[in-house]
Amino acid sequence: DVRVKVTPDLKTKGDGALLFVDLGAGAGGGLGGSALSQVLGQVGRGEAPDVDSAALKAAFVATQRLLAGGLLTAGHDRSDGGLLVAVLEMAFAGRCGVSL
Protein backbone atom coordinates (compact mmCIF):
# COMPACT_ATOMS: atom_id res chain seq x y z
CA ASP A 1 0.00 0.00 0.00
CA VAL A 2 1.74 3.18 -1.18
CA ARG A 3 -0.20 5.26 1.33
CA VAL A 4 1.68 3.61 4.21
CA LYS A 5 4.90 5.54 4.55
CA VAL A 6 7.30 7.17 6.95
CA THR A 7 9.09 10.49 6.83
CA PRO A 8 12.72 11.14 7.82
CA ASP A 9 11.91 13.30 10.86
CA LEU A 10 12.44 11.70 14.25
CA LYS A 11 9.29 11.55 16.35
CA THR A 12 9.47 12.57 20.01
CA LYS A 13 6.47 10.71 21.45
CA GLY A 14 7.49 7.95 23.84
CA ASP A 15 10.64 5.90 23.78
CA GLY A 16 12.14 4.79 20.54
CA ALA A 17 15.14 3.08 19.10
CA LEU A 18 17.28 3.74 16.07
CA LEU A 19 17.87 0.67 13.93
CA PHE A 20 20.70 0.37 11.43
CA VAL A 21 20.30 -2.08 8.56
CA ASP A 22 23.62 -2.61 6.80
CA LEU A 23 22.74 -3.71 3.27
CA GLY A 24 26.35 -3.13 2.21
CA ALA A 25 27.43 -6.12 4.34
CA GLY A 26 30.02 -4.04 6.16
CA ALA A 27 31.82 -3.05 2.97
CA GLY A 28 34.23 -0.27 3.83
CA GLY A 29 35.25 2.63 1.66
CA GLY A 30 31.92 3.08 -0.09
CA LEU A 31 31.95 6.87 0.21
CA GLY A 32 32.13 7.66 -3.51
CA GLY A 33 29.04 9.88 -3.43
CA SER A 34 29.17 11.10 0.16
CA ALA A 35 29.09 14.66 1.44
CA LEU A 36 32.72 14.21 2.51
CA SER A 37 33.70 13.17 -1.02
CA GLN A 38 31.92 16.25 -2.38
CA VAL A 39 33.84 18.58 -0.05
CA LEU A 40 37.14 16.93 -0.95
CA GLY A 41 36.38 16.98 -4.69
CA GLN A 42 36.46 13.18 -4.86
CA VAL A 43 32.91 12.36 -5.99
CA GLY A 44 32.76 9.13 -7.96
CA ARG A 45 36.12 7.75 -6.89
CA GLY A 46 34.69 5.16 -4.50
CA GLU A 47 33.01 1.92 -5.46
CA ALA A 48 29.46 0.94 -4.64
CA PRO A 49 29.33 -2.20 -2.49
CA ASP A 50 27.72 -5.35 -3.80
CA VAL A 51 24.27 -6.00 -2.36
CA ASP A 52 23.13 -9.45 -1.31
CA SER A 53 19.72 -9.83 -2.99
CA ALA A 54 18.46 -12.24 -0.31
CA ALA A 55 19.42 -9.78 2.44
CA LEU A 56 17.78 -6.93 0.52
CA LYS A 57 14.56 -8.93 0.18
CA ALA A 58 14.60 -9.86 3.88
CA ALA A 59 15.12 -6.20 4.84
CA PHE A 60 12.24 -5.16 2.57
CA VAL A 61 9.90 -7.77 4.06
CA ALA A 62 10.88 -6.80 7.62
CA THR A 63 10.34 -3.12 6.81
CA GLN A 64 6.88 -3.84 5.42
CA ARG A 65 5.97 -5.77 8.58
CA LEU A 66 7.17 -2.93 10.81
CA LEU A 67 5.18 -0.44 8.73
CA ALA A 68 2.04 -2.58 8.84
CA GLY A 69 2.36 -2.89 12.61
CA GLY A 70 2.83 0.85 13.07
CA LEU A 71 6.23 0.23 14.63
CA LEU A 72 8.30 2.18 12.14
CA THR A 73 7.92 5.94 12.55
CA ALA A 74 10.83 7.37 10.55
CA GLY A 75 13.37 6.27 7.99
CA HIS A 76 16.48 7.57 6.27
CA ASP A 77 19.26 6.29 4.05
CA ARG A 78 22.89 6.74 5.00
CA SER A 79 24.30 7.53 1.57
CA ASP A 80 25.27 11.19 2.07
CA GLY A 81 27.91 11.27 4.77
CA GLY A 82 27.17 8.00 6.50
CA LEU A 83 25.28 6.98 9.59
CA LEU A 84 26.03 10.01 11.78
CA VAL A 85 24.88 12.47 9.11
CA ALA A 86 21.67 10.45 8.62
CA VAL A 87 20.91 10.55 12.36
CA LEU A 88 21.64 14.28 12.54
CA GLU A 89 19.42 15.00 9.53
CA MET A 90 16.60 13.02 11.16
CA ALA A 91 17.02 14.96 14.42
CA PHE A 92 17.10 18.31 12.60
CA ALA A 93 13.96 17.41 10.64
CA GLY A 94 12.22 16.33 13.84
CA ARG A 95 13.43 19.41 15.71
CA CYS A 96 14.68 17.24 18.53
CA GLY A 97 17.85 15.99 20.13
CA VAL A 98 19.20 12.49 20.13
CA SER A 99 21.45 10.54 22.49
CA LEU A 100 23.66 7.92 20.91
Question: pLDDT by residue (tens digit) across 66-79?
Answer: 998 989 999 998 87
Go through 72-82 and write b for each residue having 16 or more CB atoms within 10 A of its CB, e for each that does not: bbebbebebbe
Domain count along the chain: 1
Whether pLDDT at 95 is above 80: yes
Q: Which residue type occupies 38?
A: Q
- In the chain, DSSP finds a helix count (H) and a strand count (E) of 3, 0
Give the pLDDT confidence of 43-55 residue by residue, as tens digits.
766 666 667 889 8
Is the pLDDT assigned to residue 10 strictly greater than 70?
yes
Note down the domain range covering 62: 1-100
More confident residue, 80 or 100: 100
Dihedral class, residue 26 (left if φ above 0, else alpha if ψ from -120 to 50, else beta): left
Name the residue with higher pLDDT: 74 or 24: 74
